Copies of this chain bind each other. A is one copy, B any other.
Amino acid sequence: MSAMNAQIQPILKIGAVAKAAGVSIDTVRFYEGRGLLPSPQRSASGYRLYDQSTIERLNFIGRAKGLGFTLNEIMLLLDLQDKGGSKAEVKSITGAKLEQIERKIEDLQRMRSVLGKLNSDCSGSGSVTGCPIIEALVDGDSDDCCK
């Protein structure tokens, strides 16, 4: 907050931002192409030049990915931040994602329960003949798993 260093930011080349954010150089360029990162300034020789804010933006993207958002969804979230959207818009995106995650969890729990039972029913020794796992796949008994 001192008076005179308004835009004196350290200038970073692509390798440095990538490293700082823990992504590859290719990923940075890829995100730029996808519109997740703005087109950066260029040096006289054409090198991309970044500052700290790009690292923060990459971290935003990484955290959102960690919460299960796709790059398209992340672009929506970044737009809401950049252009000033409403909390309602943000919440509708995260709410939808939450429901999607819950549905996925239910699917996987169903798979786990069927597969866990089959797995424990199988002795694991001898030839595949009579294997309860294979039999369940063959004739579909005890099958709640295929809609």
Contact = CB atoms under 8 A, between A and B. Distances in A.
B94 A118 contact: yes
8 contacts: A86-B125, A87-B125, A90-B134, A91-B124, A91-B133, A95-B119, A104-B108, A108-B108
Contact of A77 (B67, B134, B147): B134
A90 B137 CA distance: 12
Contact of A115 (B67, B87, B112, B134): B67
Interface centre among A87, A94, A112, A146 (most CB of B within 10 A): A87
Per DSSP, chain A at the interface is: helix
Interface string A66-110: 111000000001001100111111110011011001101100110
B67 A122 contact: no
A63 B136 contact: yes
Interface of A: 56, 59-60, 62-68, 77, 80-81, 84-91, 94-95, 97-98, 101-102, 104-105, 108-109, 111-112, 114-116, 118-119, 122-129, 131, 133-134, 136-138, 140, 143, 145-147
Contacts of A77: 134, 137
